[in-house]
């Protein structure tokens, strides 16, 4: 059973999870396996496809670089800490991006021997609840940390409790997802924004916000919003285009996802025959693209065809694949 990553246990499991890529196998070798081993291979390939490493795109790399830069800068700042806001349309990959960047950050700490003791919590991940109030916001942090919330606690007491635990645990990165649920024009939500600001000043960690179209959400409105804008670098996750110079990035993404599917009879680069069709169908949104291709790939693994039949999906006739796909690798 998968535990939500907005708890310490769930986050730790997410960070620690390691999926070994199935050993490459030919169709002949697959068919030679015993039925049970054949079924295990198919399940392993589907699991790795869905839960394996995230596809590194230029946008992902740029956001990760900016977060790491601000993490380093904040080590020397006692106040006015800098943060990052990741904004974009729904299903564009914001949560996947920030959670995997945070995961990679924590895993690197472990690799270089900076994991800390049993009480160390390098990363905190929370989501802003709808109609958020200061107490609800702090409650999300308490929930992640596993702290009991006493009924008689007021906001100030809860703030001090949460801040002291975060400081004691040496938290370096705080991810606040669904930040668009805070709209400054509503008093309680504005106060919830103030709560996050106060918490950031009391804690050593760097804050990263992620949300849907943050600039239009109301978070950055008014005086409070201007203060956030002055300290947070807004990074946009955008749709992939399939025209001009951007066409190469779309092709890169298609081949990267195609390779991750683990289909035995999928010719590398064959997906590029349908670059335009796939862009029309998904609008260049990475979440829609991977969702569509993962469904098709699971069907291909289960029915034994082991390749994407995009001609059937789009009602087109087979055409030769581009000869040179090196640019898309």
Q: Please check the confidence at residue 290 and state whether its pLDDT lies above 80.
A: yes
CB within 8 Å of 65: residues ≥ 6 apart: none
**Residue 1 binned pLDDT confidence (cut-offs 50, 70, 90):** very low
- 150 vs 242: CA distance, rounded Å: 54
- Global pTM reads 0.87
- pLDDT digits 0-9 by tens, 39-62: 999 999 999 999 888 888 899 999
* pLDDT average, residue stretch 23-37: 93
pLDDT in tens, 86-128: 999 988 999 999 999 999 999 998 877 665 666 889 999 999 9
Of 1-5, 125-129, 185-189, the least confident: 1-5
pLDDT tens string 212-268: 999 988 888 888 888 899 999 999 999 999 999 899 999 999 999 999 999 999 999
CA max distance for the chain: 70
Spatial distance between the Cα atoms of 287 and 88, rounded to a whole number of angstroms: 12
């Amino acid at each position: 059973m998968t535990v939500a990553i907005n708890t310490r246990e769930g986050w730790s499991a997410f960070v620690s999870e390691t999926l070994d890529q199935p050993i490459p196998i030919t169709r002949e070798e697959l068919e030679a396996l015993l039925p049970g081993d054949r079924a295990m291979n198919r399940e392993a390939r589907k699991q790795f496809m869905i839960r394996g490493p995230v596809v590194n795109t230029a946008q992902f790399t740029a956001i990760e670089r900016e977060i790491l830069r601000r993490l380093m800068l904040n080590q020397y700042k006692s106040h006015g800490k800098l943060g990052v806001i990741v904004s974009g349309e729904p299903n564009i990959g914001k949560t996947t991006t920030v959670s995997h960047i945070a995961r990679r950050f924590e895993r690197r700490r472990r690799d270089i021997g900076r994991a800390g003791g049993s009480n160390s919590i390098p990363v905190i991940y929370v989501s802003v609840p709808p109609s958020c109030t200061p107490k609800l916001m702090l409650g999300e942090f308490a929930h992640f940390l596993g702290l009991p919330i006493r009924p008689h606690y007021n906001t100030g007491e809860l703030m001090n409790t949460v801040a002291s635990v975060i400081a004691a645990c040496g938290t370096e990165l705080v991810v606040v997802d669904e930040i668009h649920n805070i709209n400054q024009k509503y008093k309680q939500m504005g106060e919830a924004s103030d709560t996050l600001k106060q918490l950031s000043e009391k804690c050593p960690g760097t804050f990263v916000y992620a949300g849907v179209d943050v600039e239009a959400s109301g978070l950055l409105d008014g005086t409070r919003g201007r203060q956030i804008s002055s300290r947070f670098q807004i990074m946009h996750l955008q749709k992939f285009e399939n025209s001009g110079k951007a066409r190469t990035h779309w092709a890169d993404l298609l081949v990267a996802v195609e390779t991750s599917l683990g289909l035995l009879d999928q010719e590398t680069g064959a997906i590029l025959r349908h670059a335009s069709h796939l862009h029309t169908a998904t609008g260049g949104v990475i979440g829609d693209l991977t969702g569509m291709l993962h469904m098709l790939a699971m069907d291909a693994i289960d029915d034994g065809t082991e390749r994407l039949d995009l001609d059937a999906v789009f009602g087109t006739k087979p055409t030769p694949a581009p000869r040179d796909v090196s640019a898309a690798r």
